[in-house]
Structure 1
Amino acid sequence: MLRTRIIPVLLLRGESLVKTIRFDRFTYVGDPCNTVRIFNELEVDELAFLDISATRERRGPNFALLAEIATECFMPLSYGGGIHNFEDAARIFETGFEKVVINSAAFEQPQLINEIARVYGTQAVVASIDVKRTIFRREKVVTHGGRRQQLVDPVAWAIEMERRGAGEILLTSVDREGTWAGFDLDLIRRVSDAVSIPVIAHGGGGSVEHIGCAVREGGASSVALGSMVVFQKKDFGVLVSFPERAALEAVLPQ
């Protein structure tokens, strides 16, 4: 087994899977449960589902769909999107998901991180931090699907999330998400150096070499992939896949 977890991140919009570019225009990918069955056969380490419309539409998670996904899935699952309170998180765990991913709610009620971690353990809480550059190239943490800027530094927010009990950080570069251009190694390195919990690099993965760089140069503990695992290659059609183990072993620390 690889020491570094490579995690497909699948985006839900309604009851369908989609893939975005820079959190904006999206392409239809397919049915969530059918996609899970393919990843079962590919024996991936873990799957993450993020509902990209729940928070913006001011609704909660689609618990019925999550229950279907959990029934089909053979590997650990995490979910984020529309989690507004502890009760939402508890219901997600009850469906069979091992982790919840908290983003916008961490700003609205940061004590939610503490509460979930206290009851379910730090390993069950993933703090999602989305980072976008302004027209002046300054980094800003954004929430609500990238629509709302927060007045906090990404590194400082990562430290705060760890202090409150998050067991991992899902760090996403909005500017690189869906571009296949490679990860923001400088951002990953600064956050990884500042916290002692695992940092999952997300946004920009387009090759196994990019994955290796995120770990070796950026210091990421894990790598999350979107476009690479749902498309044949850039600007080509849908093909659910996963990098070959031998190719990953060649670029990752052993």
Structure 2
Amino acid sequence: MRLATIRSNGTTFAARVETDTTAVKIEGFANVGDLLKEDNWEQLAEQAAGDAVSFEKTDLEAVIPAPNKIVCVGLNYANHIKEMGRNLPTHPTLFVKYPDALTGPYDDVLVPEYANSELDWEGELVVVIGKRARRVKAADAQDYIAGYAVMNDYTMRDYQYRTLQWHQGKSFEKSAGFGPWLTTKDSFEFGGELATYLEGEKMQTTPTDDLVFGPEALIEYISHIYPLDAGDVIVTGTPGGVGHARDPKRYIGDGQTVTVSIDGLGEVANKTVFE
């Protein structure tokens, strides 16, 4: 099952996606995040009835527009860790985004002049939490996963490396395309390709089951620090092939589109616009 947040007449609604251009509205919920707060969210989504409504790609909002928590994982694919000259970690490297960083899966990403000189791409798989998770064991973690989505994690490398803390280069306003929808865990299998493209040129590729710390390990680790609530998201990290690690370095230019595709989850594609 696929669930989306769709824009319509200045507002949004949660919907069950039927095809890539049609969906059934789930009455009473403005977005997928609100829906996930209900204990019986799966039943509500499955039983939603009514005429299918058509939508365009640009009608899609960030699938969960305002999670309570956006927990990001750095250095979580072995090939990326090695290209950045680091050793494999023994524990996950965590940092956070704020909801202001999220934007629709096909929205333009507007980049201010002062932050466009070292603009990099990072395609990532997102885990969406389906119910409150506190001190969960890895063996039980699947019970707490609602599903998965795709994130296009624009990164301002000059800001990122100003200090030892990465957050400032990772949370610019409306810089992370998120969606295109939530694919429930029963409809997704790990092992397919995650690929990132710049103007159609493949820059990153990895199988999704090549994470150093998989979803279960991440939920266990994070939920022993603070609880995760329904609708919270874990952004699991990016593979090798980022522009900053290339020789010579390569960055995103004005007007260039970054596309992130994950087998079984769909794609997000954001055009870069320098302000």
TM-score by length of 1: 0.27
Structure number with larger C-alpha Rg: 2
Structure scoring higher RCO (CA < 8 A, sep ≥ 6) equals 2
TM-score by length of 2: 0.26
Return the structure number with greater helix share: 1
Return the structure number with greater strand share: 2
